[in-house]
Structure 1
Amino acid sequence: MINVLFVCLGNICRSPMAESVFREVVRKRGYSGSFKIDSAGTAGYHIGKQPDRRTLEVLETHGLKTTHHGQKIDDELLSEADHIAVMDEANFEDVHNYLHKKLKRPPAPEKLFLIRDFDPEVRGVHEVPDPYYEPIEAFEEVYILLERSSEALLDHLIDLHQLEPDPERDEEE
């Protein structure tokens, strides 16, 4: 099972949305049995809390739900993750430093990366903007960025791990 962890600052806006979006992309393409998908924050501000109401609203608009509750990155989450998709440079740096200290070497690029590294519509460093202090429209824009990036990330992981779709694939779409 391939473990993918999505990370942002507080784990109530971007990363739980990324977790839900990627889970749905994986499900629709028939790879649910190949992945464990989770999310966490670099800060512990919202441990145990549900995602932001606007995150939940945007997910519901797109037919998605989540049962996720906020959690902070820790040794177990990071060591179990095969791939860590981070939303922005500041959180990338925090996770990179944490892993570098633990591993005694920098993490490999296939282990730690920005989610928008897989966005087919951008080149160079691009972040998923934090919508926390913004209106609902910013959350919708984040959804669009994450959906586009998730499709390309899944393509990459299928190739990297030479995955085949689940034999008893859920065809409901």
Structure 2
Amino acid sequence: MMLKILFVCTGNICRSPIAEETFRRAVKARDLQRVIQCDSAATHAYHIGDLPDPRTRKNAESHGLKLTHHCRKLSGEDFSVFDYIVAMDNYNMENIQTISARSTGIHQHEDICFLYRKFDPLAQGKRLEVPDPYYGNSEDFEEVYQIVNRCAESFLDYLVDKHHL
């Protein structure tokens, strides 16, 4: 069994690449890379082929991560390839559902398509969105890193339990 996870944000240059890489690190730390793979994508085609935002890469490097992902757009094929499609915010969740409906004729079920921050143990009572740091400063990029890093561990716990990994 191979689980495939896709992290999605607007441009695939800030939130989803760092979510992908923090999750990949968590998977590797538990030696689960043979059963869990991940990738990231955008709901818009603004930055296709580009590396993540330099500020995202700088923040990742400060935490020992190197981002080499080249931005890509979510495609209809992704809905048959990935077991989970994880949105960073409500705007992207709506876009994911629209793309899914256009390409597959169905809306993705909330068991496989959901907001990543629902796995943030510190988000209780808060909006379940990972904020977009694009127009912010280095502290905003650090906040995103901290959120997705917390989510990575909790989401991985969920997958291990649910799929008996």
TM-score by length of 2: 0.94
For residues 78-122 of structure 1, the C-alpha deviation after alignment (integer angstroms, 9 at most, x for no partner) is 321100110000000110122234443331222100000111112
Unaligned runs of 5+ in 2: none
* Equivalent residue number for residue 157 of structure 2: 155
For residues 18-69 of structure 1, the C-alpha deviation after alignment (integer angstroms, 9 at most, x for no partner) is 0101000111122111112100000000000000011111111111112100
Aligned ranges for residues 11-30 of structure 1 at < 5 Å?
A: 11-30=12-31
- Superposed CA RMSD in Å reads 1.2
* Equivalent residue number for residue 118 of structure 1: 119
* Equivalent residue number for residue 166 of structure 1: none
Contact 2:76 2:104 in 1 (8 A): no
TM-superposed CA distance for 1:75, in Å, is: 1.4
**Counterpart-to-counterpart distance in 1, 2:104 and 2:77:** 13
* Equivalent residue number for residue 97 of structure 1: 98
Aligned ranges for residues 4-153 of structure 1 at < 5 Å?
A: 4-123=5-124, 125-153=127-155
**Counterpart-to-counterpart distance in 2, 1:56 and 1:104:** 36
SS of residue in 1 equivalent to 2:8: strand
**Counterpart-to-counterpart distance in 2, 1:143 and 1:81:** 23
TM-score by length of 1: 0.90
Give aligned pairs, total: 163
Amino acid at match of 1:129: P
SS of residue in 2 equivalent to 1:33: coil
**Counterpart-to-counterpart distance in 2, 1:122 and 1:55:** 22
Contact 2:116 2:151 in 1 (8 A): yes
**Counterpart-to-counterpart distance in 1, 2:162 and 2:52:** 31
Most deviating of 35-44 and 95-104: 95-104
TM-superposed CA distance for 1:11, in Å, is: 0.4
TM-superposed CA distance for 1:137, in Å, is: 1.1
**Counterpart-to-counterpart distance in 2, 1:39 and 1:20:** 9
Amino acid at match of 2:91: A
Unaligned runs of 5+ in 1: 164-173
Identity over aligned pairs, percent: 46
| Structure 1 residue ranges (4+ consecutive) displaced by more than 4 angstroms after TM superposition | none
**Counterpart-to-counterpart distance in 1, 2:164 and 2:102:** 31
